Amino acid sequence: MISLTDRKIADLELKANDIRVSIIESLAAAGSGHTAGSLGMADVFTVLYFAVMNHDPKKPNKEDRDRLILSNGHIAPVLYSTMAHAGYFPVKELLTLRKFGSRLQGHPHRTSLPGLETSSGPLGSGLSQAVGMTIAEEMDAGEISNKFFYCLLGDGELNEGQNWEAIMLAGKKRLHNLIAVVDRNNIQIDGNTEDIMPLEPLREKFLAFNWHVIEMDGHNMRGLYQAFLDAQSVAEKPIVIIAHTIPSKGVLSFQRDYRWHGAPPGKGPEDRVKKDKQKEVALKELKEVRGEIEEKIKNLNKE
């Protein structure tokens, strides 16, 4: 793992902003897809792909790579955008999202794109896949394995009972190479999670199943990096990072509104921004964020 200077943090923030721009552009071109969670998880994906994970876009199948399992597959736009900016495929291909014949389907399909580890779609199945993969690695390599298995889940997805079977098994098996990340944005397609099916006390639930729990701000780059570093040092327990995120982070006009869960720019709620202006407004606001980051970098270069 790399050392994170203030300049490197700023570079990661700039990369996350670029990824958010690509998310907006690809969703607008598709005319369908999920905005809130994709924008909200851009910082987590940026830290994983550009600071934490052992992976190589030029050798996507190298044996010693870490594995990323996306359980909440509907936020595929952030996975695709991050992979494109990391060099797995051309950024311009993002504009084919959800089109017929595209490698970038609405939910990831493992054999369609180098670098995808699993197919996802049915919510609740990703953690079971990750547990199985981690157990298989333990059987093959034993305690000497340096691979990590990162499983990303939505908080609304935890309504699915299969998750808790996987959580129970991972705790029993003490799968210390398994690191789950829960996108705790408090929304799902029908409203706020605590109104629909309350999850709290979420931390205590994982603790009861013998997991090591890290709870944090999912937009703090340095904090995220340290959380993954800490997670990798835990022995004899699976680890969950409960990342508190803001739905549609980066686009102020869309933020914290559950109605953007499954709506793309151009088809979202109109009480803040009219549909025909949603892409334009989103890109404008992200450009303003980029300007703030560039100013920060300019000041750091003067020091």
Domain CATH number, residue 91 = 3.40.50.970
Q: How many CB atoms lie within 10 A of CB 164?
A: 14
pLDDT of residue 92: 98
Tokens of 183: 């996108």
Cβ–Cβ under 8 Å, residues 30 and 98: yes
pLDDT tens figures, 245-271: 999 999 999 999 999 999 999 999 999
Distances (CA, A) of 86 to 72, 145, 280: 21, 25, 25
pLDDT of residue 191: 95
33, HSE (Cβ side, Cα atoms, 13 Å): 34
How far separated are the first and last CA of the chain, in Å rounded?
Answer: 25
Domain limits for position 227: 38-249
pLDDT tens figures, 16-49: 999 999 999 999 999 999 999 999 999 999 999 9
pLDDT of residue 1: 65
Give a yes or no: residue 153 inside a domain: yes
Give a yes or no: residue 286 inside a domain: no
- Token pair 């904090």: residue: 223
Q: Which amino acid is residue 123, in one-letter code?
A: L
Give a yes or no: residue 159 inside a domain: yes
pLDDT of residue 144: 75
C-alpha angle with apex 157: 230 to 119, nearest 5 degrees? 85
Strands 212-217 and 67-70: unpaired
Give a yes or no: residue 169 inside a domain: yes
Q: Provide mean pLDDT across the span 156-169.
A: 97
197 pLDDT exceeds 90? yes
Looking at residue 51, what DSSP letter applies?
A: I
What is the count of structural domains for the chain? 1
Compute the distance between CA of residue 65 and CA of residue 74 in angstroms, rounded to an integer: 24
Of the candidates 13, 2, 45, 3, the one whose C-alpha atom is nearest the C-alpha of residue 221 is 13
Give a yes or no: residue 270 inside a domain: no
Q: Provide mean pLDDT across the span 59-69.
A: 97
Q: How many CB atoms lie within 10 A of CB 150?
A: 24
194, HSE (Cβ side, Cα atoms, 13 Å): 6
Q: pTM of the full predicted structure?
A: 0.97
pLDDT tens figures, 95-148: 999 999 999 999 999 999 999 999 998 899 999 999 999 999 999 987 678 999
Q: Report the DSSP beta bridge partners of residue 154.
A: 183
Strands 187-188 and 191-192: antiparallel
Give a yes or no: residue 264 inside a domain: no
pLDDT of residue 236: 92
pLDDT of residue 141: 86
Give a yes or no: residue 24 inside a domain: no
